[in-house]
Structure 1
Amino acid sequence: MALTTTTPVVQPRAGFREKLQDALPKIVLAPSFALIVVFVYGFILWTVFLSFTNSKDFPSTQLAGWASYQKLWNWTFESNPPSNWYTSITNMAIYGVLYVGICMGLGLLLAILLDQKIRAEGFLRTVYLYPMALSMIVTGVAWKWFLDPSLGLEQTLHRIGWTSFHFGWLKDPTFVIYTVVIAGVWQTSGFVMAMFLAGLRGIDSEMLKAAQIDGASGFRIYWRIVIPILRPVFLSAFIVLTHMAIKSYDLVVALTSGGPGGSAWLPSLFMNDYSFKRSQMAVGSASAVIMLMAITAIIVPYLYSELREKAR
């Protein structure tokens, strides 16, 4: 019986051209990846390190433990007068809750109205989205002129005869933070509307028609069907708005300059002022780390929920 031998098939080696094609995406992305690692995550770690030092005018490598954090929060619990950090945290709570809540509510309402196939939808969508194309500096300056009692709305109404009208929130330490809310909502609510409108257009119309045939009212359809389906859009909008609220700086500076008397300070203004103006870089770095922790506490649960949904 003759023995038969099989010759193994030798796979041709990948040539230089094929190897280059496989490595080209990595080569193209490598510079931007390196820049992100150095100038984003590297400086985050540097800021965390500075918060544990005794840095004043310039960075120092001499460690001081938790002294900056202790000093920061000891200021917070002083009873009289309240510190700038206490004011910043209080304003952040007011601004964050109102800004996120009003933007999401108003954005959803505008999206539902535009989803009714009304006339001039394209024009209205452009009008609502246009403020997002402006920078925060432009928005702040424009609203500063509009709300200034000597220049804007109040002065205009006085000239046409409504002399009893007064709107001095921009000069009132108690209400000045609400002017920041007004300007922020005006700029961002159109963007949130676009997010919800895209989500509404992705819902199966047959499902809504079946609910209407079953006798469900319009309110019940949106409450029981549409809004639960838009849960991912709600989460995305919440993350974006919260991130924008925590890092708000230019809008407050352009609109109020942090005043009157520092009553409109946010943590971002506190960090900038103490790091570069008051020669307390360690304290400013500690406040920046606290802001980072706040953003992380919001983003991590969101990422966890998204990954969990994909795993399911």
Structure 2
Amino acid sequence: MTARAAAANPRATLQDLLPKIVLAPSFAVILIFVYGFIAFTAVLSFSGSKLLPDFSTWVGLNNYVRLFNHPNWITALQNLAIFSILYIVVCSVIGLALAIFLDQKIRGEGLLRPIYLYPMALSFIVTGVAWKWFLDPGIGLEHVMQSIGWESFSFRWIKDGKMAIYTIVIAAVWQSSGFVMAMFLAGLRGVDNEIIKAAQIDGASTMTIYRRIIIPLMRPVFLSAFVVLAHLAIKSYDLVVAMTDGGPGTATWTPALFMQKFTFGRNEMGMGAASAIIMMMMIFAIIVPYLYSELGGKKK
């Protein structure tokens, strides 16, 4: 629309401006409280801030050097690697298996789907508290099994420094597998039936159809599931706090828990900000290539 036409038709001008006016407050809020605070955290990471922000003392990359020389941060990264790999792989396997099971048009599918999805409706805090009670040797699974006569039964992973991280994996997988199942089921239902029918006419078995045709066609779904699970793993905090609070000792510390402990618990705001920036870079390293592949594929 030309300037002369817009001036002659103020109603059309208002219609053009209305979406921008409506979106402007939201855009301003996002700009300030998301990107503004990201920039603020980045600046803090180069400062000598302790209890409160201190922009009078600049330490350069010293906070990052101290961070990667700190044993608790190394422990947090190791725990993140264990948790992420097991969480992503096990959730993907269970989610795919459940999706294939439901894709057989079984009776009761309408009942089973919400049952599988129900854990995702809970917060990670609720999941963590429930699993903490379930795995506690004094009141949970071990106590119940011993009370019914199996006195030699022992399951103390949540109290064992070497095994506690795996209890976090169990709880996280329980909560997220249903969500992954829903993603895979949507992908399975989106596969062209003509391809499947052609394979069946050629004599391919159901297993072969899934292995050679359907699952390879679901690569975008696998990638989407990976991105979602990976960023949840990197940000894992509330589940860990609810189940173990990082214990025993630092056995279940994650980068997010390290950031909280050092920023607010040990008055190391500069190093806590540095850990937050490293976490953000991890997430960017996953999301940016994904967005590039998606948007690049659409442009082609």
TM-score scaled by length of structure 2: 0.96
Q: What is the correspondence of 1:162-181 to structure 2 with a 5 Å cutoff?
A: 162-181=150-169
In the alignment, the residues of structure 1 paired with residue 127 and residue 69 of structure 2 have an alpha-carbon distance, to the nearest angstrom, of 35
Q: Number of matched residues?
A: 296
Give the match for residue 68 of structure 2. 73
Among the aligned pairs, what percent are the same residue?
62
1:60 to 54, 59, 62: 54
Structure 2 counterpart SS, 1:261: coil
Task: Give the gaps of 5 or more residues in structure 2.
Answer: none
Instruction: Give the 3-state SS of the residue equivalent to 1:161 in structure 2.
Output: coil
Matched, 1:232 2:220: yes
Distance between the aligned counterparts of 1:214 and 1:258, measured in 2?
55
Residue in 1 aligned with 2:91? Answer: 103
Within the alignment, does 1:295 sit opposite 2:283 as a pair? yes
Pairwise CA distance, 1:304: 1.3
- Residue 304 of structure 1 is matched in structure 2 by 292
Q: CA deviation at 1:12?
A: 7.9
- Structure 1 residue 74: Cα displacement: 2.1
Cα pair 2:75 2:253 within 8 Å, conserved:
yes
SS of alignment partner, residue 149 of structure 1: coil
More helix by share: 2
The alignment status of 1:117 with 2:105, answered yes or no, reads yes
What corresponds to 1:3 in structure 2?
none
Which residue is 1:262 aligned to? 250
What's the offset of the Cα at 1:15? Answer: 2.1
1:43 corresponds to 2:37: yes
Matches of 2:20 and 2:213, distance apart in 1: 44
Equivalent residue for 1:17?
A: 11
Find the counterpart in structure 2 of residue 215 from structure 1.
203
**Corresponding residue for 2:130?**
142
Per the TM alignment, residue 92 of structure 1 is displaced from its structure 2 partner at its CA by 0.2
In structure 2, distance between residues paired with 1:47 and 1:175:
34
Equivalent residue for 2:78?
A: 90
Q: Deviations over 1:93-135 (max 9, x none)?
A: 0000000111111101100000000011011000000001101
Relative to structure 1, the CA distance from residue 184 to residue 14 in structure 2 (aligned partners, 3 Å threshold; closer, same or farther) is farther
CA distances 1:175-222 after superposition (whole Å, capped 9, x unpaired): 000000000000011001001101111111121011011122222211
Structure 1: give runs of 5+ residues left out of the alignment. 1-9, 76-82
**Could you list the per-position Cα deviations for residues 263-291 of structure 1 after superposition, in whole angstroms to 9, with x for gaps in the alignment?**
11000000011011101111111111110
| Within-5 A mapping of 1:238-253 | 238-253=226-241
Q: Which has more radius of gyration?
A: 1
TM-score, normalised relative to structure 1: 0.92
- In structure 1, C-alpha distance between the alignment counterparts of 2:260 and 2:193, rounded to whole Å: 50
- Given the superposition, is the C-alpha separation of residues 20 and 12 from structure 1 closer, same or farther in structure 2, using an over 3 Å criterion? closer
**Contact map agreement 2:46 2:63 (CA 8 A) in 1:** yes
Give the aligned residue type for 1:278. Answer: R
Amino acid of the structure 2 residue aligned with 1:200: L
C-alpha distance in 2, partners of 1:88/1:14?
64
What is the rounded CA distance, in whole Å, between the counterparts of 1:160 and 1:119 in structure 2?
Answer: 35
SS state at 1:274 partner? helix
RMSD (CA atoms): 1.2
Aligned mates of 2:6, 2:157 — CA distance in 1:
76
Distance 2:200 2:13 in 1: 58
Deviation at 1:13, TM superposition (A): 4.7
Residue in structure 1 matching 2:25, options 18, 31, 36: 31
Which residue in the other structure is 1:130 paired with? 118
Give the whole-Å Cα distance in 1 for the aligned partners of 2:102 and 2:271. Answer: 48
Aligned AA (1:98)? L
| In structure 2, distance between residues paired with 1:84 and 1:34 | 38
